[in-house]
Structure formats: C-alpha cells, structure tokens
Copies of this chain bind each other. A is one copy, B any other.
Amino acid sequence: MREQLETLTEGNETSEGSGRNTLRYIMLGLLWARPMSGYDIKQTFERAIASYWNAGNSQIYTTLKNLHKAGLIDAEIIVQTSRPNRKVYRLTRAGEEELSRWLQEDVPERFTKDEFLAKLFFCGETSDEVALVHLRSHRESLLKQLAHMDWARREYGSRPVRRPHLLEYQLLVREYKEAVLKAGLEVTENAIARLEQRLNAPSS
C-alpha cells in the first residue's frame, strides 16, 4: 500500500526517522532569533515557552549535540574567567532551511495530555472531598500560571526587540494561552463552589 520512498534516493543527513522532533525545531527557532547557549535556551523555555512545551537540561544539551552533529548549528566556545565557559550555538544555513521547512509543514492533530483531567474523570470512584482537594490545588496552579505570565510580560514583554515581527506572534500565543487558562479557571471555580455548597449544606 505504502511505497518505501524513504529508503531510496535520500542521503538522509538529517536522519528524519519517525517522531516529530518538535523540541529540535523549537530550539532551531530560538537560535534563529539569536545565538544562545544551552543555559540561555533553558531560561527562555522557563520564561516564555514552558506553559506549552518544556524540556529538562539533559534533553536540551543532548539535542544541541545532535543538532550540531547534523550540521544544523555551529558551536563557539566563549571563554570566561570568573564563570564556567559558555558554548554558544548559532544556526547554519542548513539549519535555517530545516526551520523554514518545519514552519511551513502542517501541524498534525495530536492529542494533548492532561493528568489533572484524567484524574478528575475518575473522581466519582472516590469521594467529593478528594475531588475538592484536587480542584482547589488545580485552581492554585492556574492562578500561578497566570501570575507567571503577567510577570513575564512585565519583565520581558515590553523591552525593545531585535525583530519586531516575531513579537506579534509571541503575543498571540500568550493571548491564546491566557484565554485558555482563564476559561479553565472559571469552570474550576464553579465546580469548587458547587461542591462546597453541597458539602456544607445540611444534607437531605
């Protein structure tokens, strides 16, 4: 049914096997904007991206090595005296092309995973009290995420930008995420209120 084209003509330097490699492309996207070290990348994740994608240091550093091996980024060691040396990476021409290809590629419809909803789904199998605990701590989590977005906006959102066109879409993503968090918060708060009323009411 499905022909085996991938084994034929391609020299496959990029080793595009299966898998989506989203992290690789995010990192290429970040390095396109400016050269960075693994440490810088991790920080950018925390500041701006963590709410819809994140990666640990280990993944970041191994991915940087892979990208380098694949010829998509160049490395340069910045010697520092009173700090550990930095390894700063920048996109190569091939890297730019890969990134541009990915940006134009369709996003497949993929499910998101949400452990909170998964657990809530089964809360009928335990008690309302347990459900209430989960809902309350989820509310705290949502509020914390919203506060973090506010903080990031104040701290990093309004300073002069190298590439103003980038900012527009970054703001859109923020707007999206914020709307989604607020919608979730509203449902959560309503559910908490209902449960509290039921648990406090002199039961029938």
Contacts and interface: CB of A to CB of B under 8 A. Distances in A.
A173 B121 contact: yes
A8 interface: no
Q: Which among A33, A106, A122 has the greatest number of chain B C-beta atoms within 10 A?
A: A122
A119 B99 CA distance: 10
Q: How many identical chains are in the complex? A: 2
Give chain A's interface residue range (CB within 8 Å of chain B): 35 or more
A169 B121 contact: yes
A65 interface: no
Provide the main secondary structure of the chain A interface: helix
11 contacts: A26-B121, A49-B121, A51-B112, A52-B114, A100-B125, A102-B119, A107-B119, A112-B112, A176-B184, A176-B188, A180-B184
Interface of A: 20, 22, 25-26, 29, 32-33, 48-54, 99-100, 102-104, 106-126, 130-131, 133-134, 137-138, 141, 144, 163, 165-170, 172-173, 175-177, 179-180, 182-184, 186-188, 191
